[in-house]
């Protein structure tokens, strides 16, 4: 707090016009948020001139770090000929082809404004295709902020029900009660219980949406057998399997589905696909995506005259800046770059685990590829319910202590490495985690 008087002052001022002083609720942490002003590579600078190594990179959206020169150039060139145009332009084709070539389950793809929208359209597609009304998601799964998926993301312990049969718990006030009944929750990484729940609701289930690695829910990788079993059950019951790869696309050129060897019907994407600009995308099997195609008429608004079954709108969807930044990022993030990135992630998880071995507080590092999460107070993390053991007070103290040492992760412990992360950065981080843990134990 002593290091950030300007951020504190800004917080007090901005909170007069923006609730909680932050546009994203998750950025409104106590005692007050730190406001970042600029970034280059892995290093960001706050309002008070403090610098940090940013291991969060806007919640994993910036695999090349800040202000990558190629992206900056691509954006500047594009700005000169317009940011968004009334009709689609050719850049969309390039990014679509690039993604379809990398992710074999994607025959066709549509871009959206955000990951939230990608999930919204993907689930609507599944409902239209199957003519069913309900969707299933994993407990702890995060899929953006619409009513139908803002359920059992972080359920209150006393409301969540049995570990093998989790209840559908709305995350906040204002979520449509009728919708809560249409979102069925399955326990992540629990094959038997998940299969039984899907069977019990199969006649009304349009889709099962899963993150191959729970992201917001603690960077917990699925067991391969779990994903494979869910694929089989969905086939058996006629349920559309959606993989939400908004975070996990970065772990292999073809995303987590390539890493696991399990093929979904629809994939949702976001974050890295936009190279630091707003984006989302959903793509999949041609027969599903065909619901978005015109059926011979001229008026796309009128289904009777041959418009598509599903209509997709969005004024800034597919805007030229997001597409340009996305093409640049995804081209640079080729197989070799991903291998390198994953090796750094592996090194970070190993280094932190070694660095905290002797400290008095348990700390578990989860993750995969270039992604990680630090969990304070728990010794083993395999299912979402394992996170109930987290020492929430110390978890937040760790976040603050790391900030004070110049390292940024998410308040809940999530982080990632980027192509500009160096071995020294990783050593620095492991040391900072060790020192922070010792610090906060002294304080408690």
Instruction: Write down the least CB distance from residue 244 to ligand PMP, Å.
Output: 4
Asked whether position 187 contacts ligand PMP by CB under 6 A, the answer is no
Q: Minimal distance in Å, beta carbon 64 to ligand PMP? A: 18
Structure-token match 């199969």, residue found: 202
Q: Could you tell me which of 291, 242, 293 has the C-alpha nearest to residue 266?
A: 242
Is 280 a binding residue for ligand PMP by CB under 6 A? The answer is: yes
Q: Which of 4, 114, 366, 395 binds ligand PMP (CB under 6 A)?
A: 114
CB 291, CB 25: distance < 8 Å: no
Question: Which of 47, 84, 45, 89 lies closest to 67, judged by CA?
Answer: 45
Q: How far is CA 398 from CA 231, 246, 322, in A?
A: 38, 26, 34
Query: Of 215 and 284, which has the nearer Cβ to ligand PMP?
Result: 215
Q: Which of 215, 318, 326, 367 binds ligand PMP (CB under 6 A)?
A: 215
Residue 244 engages ligand PMP in binding (rule: CB under 6 A): yes
- 112 vs 351 by CB, closer to ligand PMP: 112
| Residue selected from 4, 116, 257, 364 as contacting ligand PMP according to rule CB under 6 A | 116
Report the DSSP beta bridge partners of residue 41.
66
Question: 62, 74, 119, 289: which one contacts ligand PMP (CB under 6 A)?
Answer: 119
Q: Which residue is nearest to ligand PMP (CB)?
A: 115
Reduced to 3 states (helix: H, G, I; strand: E, B; else coil), residue 9 is helix
Among 247, 333, 400, 417, binds ligand PMP (CB under 6 A): 247
Q: Which stretch binds ligand PMP (CB under 6 A): 26-34, 167-175, 239-247, 352-360?
A: 239-247
Map the footprint of ligand PMP across residues 138-157, applying CB under 6 A. 142-144
Half-sphere exposure of 41 (CA within 13 A, CB side): 8
Q: Which of 388, 384, 352, 421 is nearest to 56 (CA)?
A: 421
Q: Least distance (Å) from ligand PMP to the CB of residue 136? A: 16
Site string for ligand PMP, 8-47 (x = CB under 6 A): ----------------------------------------
> Alpha carbon of 410 to those of 4, 140, 270, 374: distances in Å?
18, 17, 19, 10
Query: Given the rule CB under 6 A, which of 79-87, 109-117, 196-204, 325-333 is the region that contacts ligand PMP?
Result: 109-117
Instruction: Work out whether 211 is an interface residue with ligand PMP (CB under 6 A).
Output: yes
CA neighbor of 224 nearest in space, from 273, 266, 257: 257
d(CA 422, CA 132): 49
In the chain, the N- to C-terminal Cα span, in Å, equals 18
Closest C-alpha among 388, 371, 373, 382 to residue 189: 382
Taking the least distance from each CB to ligand PMP, the nearer of 316 and 428 is: 316
In contact, 193 and 199? CB cutoff 8 Å: no
246 near ligand PMP, judged by CB under 6 A: yes
Residues that bind ligand PMP (CB under 6 A): 59, 114-116, 119, 142-144, 211, 215-216, 244, 246-247, 270, 280
């Amino acid at each position: 707090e002593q290091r950030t008087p300007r951020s504190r002052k800004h917080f007090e001022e901005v909170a007069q016009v923006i609730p909680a002083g932050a546009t994203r609720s998750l950025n409104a942490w106590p005692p007050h948020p730190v406001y970042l002003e600029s970034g280059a590579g892995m290093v960001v600078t706050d309002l008070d001139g403090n610098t940090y190594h940013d291991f969060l990179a806007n919640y994993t959206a910036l695999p090349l770090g800040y202000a990558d020169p190629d992206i900056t150039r691509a954006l500047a060139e594009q700005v000169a000929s317009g940011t968004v145009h009334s009709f689609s332009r050719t850049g969309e084709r390039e990014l679509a082809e690039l993604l379809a070539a990398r992710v074999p389950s994607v025959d066709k793809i549509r871009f959206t404004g955000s990951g939230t929208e990608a999930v919204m359209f993907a689930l609507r597609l599944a409902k239209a295709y199957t003519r069913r009304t309900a969707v299933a998601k994993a407990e702890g799964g995060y899929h953006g902020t619409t009513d139908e998926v803002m359920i059992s993301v972080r359920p209150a312990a006393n409301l969540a029900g049995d570990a093998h049969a989790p209840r559908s718990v709305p995350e906040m006030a204002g979520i449509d009660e009728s919708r809560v009944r249409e979102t069925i929750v399955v326990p992540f990484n629990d094959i038997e219980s998940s299969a039984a729940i899907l069977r019990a609701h199969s006649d009304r289930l349009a889709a099962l949406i899963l993150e191959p690695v729970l992201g917001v829910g603690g960077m917990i990788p699925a067991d391969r057998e779990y994903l494979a079993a869910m694929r089989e059950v969905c086939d058996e019951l006629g349920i559309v399997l959606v993989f939400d790869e908004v975070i996990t696309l970065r772990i292999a050129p073809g995303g987590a589905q390539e890493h696991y060897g399990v093929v979904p019907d629809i994939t949702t994407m976001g974050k890295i696909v936009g190279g630091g600009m707003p984006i989302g995308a959903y793509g999949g099997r041609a027969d599903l995506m065909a619901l978005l195609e015109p059926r011979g008429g001229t008026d796309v608004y009128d289904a009777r005259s041959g418009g598509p079954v599903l209509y997709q709108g969005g004024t800034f969807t597919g805007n030229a800046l997001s597409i340009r930044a996305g093409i640049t990022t995804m081209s640079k993030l080729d197989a070799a770059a991903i291998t390198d990135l994953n090796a750094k992630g592996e090194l970070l998880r190993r280094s932190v685990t070694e660095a905290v071995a002797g400290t008095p507080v348990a700390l578990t590092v989860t993750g995969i590829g270039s992604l990680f999460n630090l969990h304070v107070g728990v010794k083993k993390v395999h299912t979402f319910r394992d996170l109930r053991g987290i020492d929430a007070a110390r978890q937040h103290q760790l976040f603050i202590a790391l900030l004070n040492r110049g390292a940024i992760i998410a308040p809940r412990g999530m982080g990632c490495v980027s192509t500009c992360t160096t071995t020294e950065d990783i050593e620095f981080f492991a040391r900072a985690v060790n020192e922070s843990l010792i610090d906060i134990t002294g304080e408690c």
